[in-house]
Amino acid sequence: MRNIFLFIRRYSNLLFFLLLQGYSIYLIVHYNRYHNSVFSNTTNQLTGKVNEQYNKVEDYFYLKKINDSLVKANEKLLNQLKADFIASDTGRKIINDTLLVDSIKQYRRYNYMQATVVSNSVSTQSNYIVLHRGEAQHLKKGMGVVDINNAVVGIITDLSDDYAVVMSLLHKDSHIDGKLIKGGETGTLSWEGDAPNIVTINRISKSAKVAKGDTIITSGNSSTFPKGMLIGYVTEVIPEKSSNNYLIRLKTAADFHSLQYVYVIDNKQQEAINQLLEKAKQQNK
Amino acid sequence: MNSLIKNIIRFILLILVQVYVLDQIHLHKMVTPYLYFIFILWLPFNMNRSMQLLVAFALGFTLDCFRHNPGFHSAACVLIAFVRPFMINLLIPHEGADGNYDEPSIKSMGGLLPYFIYVAVLTLIHNAWLFLLEAWQFGNIWYFLVKTLLSAAISLLLIIITELLFVRKQKFRTNTV
């Protein structure tokens, strides 16, 4: 017994070192992004406060750039106004619909919410973006995030009351579905971890016609992003030797270096879809 | 100035510089310069060893919180805090020099070379361990080696610049310990 105490006293530093090192590695391995804990809430809240102060200063340096892109976005929207178009046929007449159920009524499916970026990284192998908008402002986990020109940025993975953490497209675990705008073939996006504006898309078969400069958009298969949001432009097409697929590199449409404002997309039908999926899973059991 | 207050100010300043200045720099898409761990290199000689480990862990963990990736920097910082006393014992030229000065510097380590070796070895260990943990899933050994060497070189350069810009006045203490 005495020897044990002597041993502990003698090697207390080594033991303490191993304990701290072990705890750090435990944190790396077991930190689960989808598991919200009190811990991550408080640290997010604290670091978010500091980031916000810094962002107040940094904002000024990007004002011109933001202004330019807003003008562009505005121009695009103005061009879609109804008043811009003149109906060519004169033979139209208005018919009063007498049906009780209004079949023309449209339901809102996607809702956009603006958010400010308070911190942003592109240099590590798992990059996150922090937004100054959180659970108290109607954000939920799994919502998609796009930049001001509707280019895909990432998906919300962590929330606190006033801040949200977004797993960016530049993250080794990020898997978003993409689609070729020309042929419609779909594949999964992933990031190789080196260049902060190049992502790869795989599982696109060699029968697809792909050329440099082709546009890749969101597929709309998952409920996170609406169909047709910009992801990027093809820069390189590499045929895989061992399979029947292409490996395609693309340049992201979003500029991850200078994100200041983003839109969070809320799918109003998400809950209905989830309930259906749950139901299907239970029936299969 | 009181050593405790000085170190607390250093802690906050280095974390802020790392998060808001150095993390925004990406040299040739693979190198991020790290400077914050100079805090551990500059800790006082007479600090309790387990206290050093704990402070190093706190430093790494604070940076991790800002980067939303807990574990990586705490592991690297704890490692260099553990190796530090061995390095100091090896490189200090004569008995009691660590009692005459407060913290490691060119003067207290007895010349430029021992201090440079001390800084270089710890920088290399810090960067290597950090990128080894980060490269876990990627497993490209050449990428890892090049990244470690380049980052360590940039970090060393930054540390030298910091030493030149912020001269730390070291008082010689006799018979006080």
pLDDT in tens, B82-134: 999 898 888 876 665 566 777 888 878 878 888 899 999 999 999 999 888 87
A20 touches chain B (CB under 8 A): yes
Query: Are A119 and B74 inside 8 Å of each other by CB?
Result: no
Q: Is B130 helix (H, G, I), strand (E, B) or coil?
A: helix
Contacting residues for A23 by C-beta, under 8 A, at least 6 apart: B74
CA distance A75 to A48: 33
Which helix H or strand E contains A65, and what residues bound it?
A: helix A63-78
Q: Give, in words, the CATH class of B3-165.
A: mainly alpha
Q: Is B24 helix (H, G, I), strand (E, B) or coil?
A: helix
The model's pTM: 0.67
Using alpha carbons, select from B106, B80, B121, B101 the residue that is nearest to residue B163: B106
Half-sphere exposure of residue B112: CA atoms within 13 angstroms, side-chain side: 3
Instruction: Write down the domain spans for chain B.
Output: 3-165
Sketch out chain A's domains with CATH numbers.
Answer: 177-255 (2.40.10.350)
pLDDT tens, position by position, A150-174: 899 999 988 888 899 999 988 888 8
Q: What is the ipTM of this complex?
A: 0.81
Q: Chain A partners of B64 at a C-beta cutoff of 8 Å?
A: 27
Cβ–Cβ < 8 Å for A84, A91: no
Query: Are B71 and A25 inside 8 Å of each other by CB?
Result: yes
Q: Report the residue count for chain A.
A: 285
Nearest residue on chain A to B54, judged by CA atoms? Answer: A20
Phi-psi region of B117 (alpha: psi -120 to 50; beta: other; left: phi over 0): alpha
CA distance A199 to A180: 14
Instruction: Name which of A17, A50, A123 is nearest B23 (Cβ-Cβ).
Output: A123
Nearest residue on chain A to B25, judged by CA atoms? Answer: A123
Q: Amino acid identity of A218?
A: T
pLDDT tens, position by position, B122-149: 999 999 998 888 777 556 778 788 888 9
Q: Chain A partners of B58 at a C-beta cutoff of 8 Å?
A: none
Phi-psi region of B28 (alpha: psi -120 to 50; beta: other; left: phi over 0): left
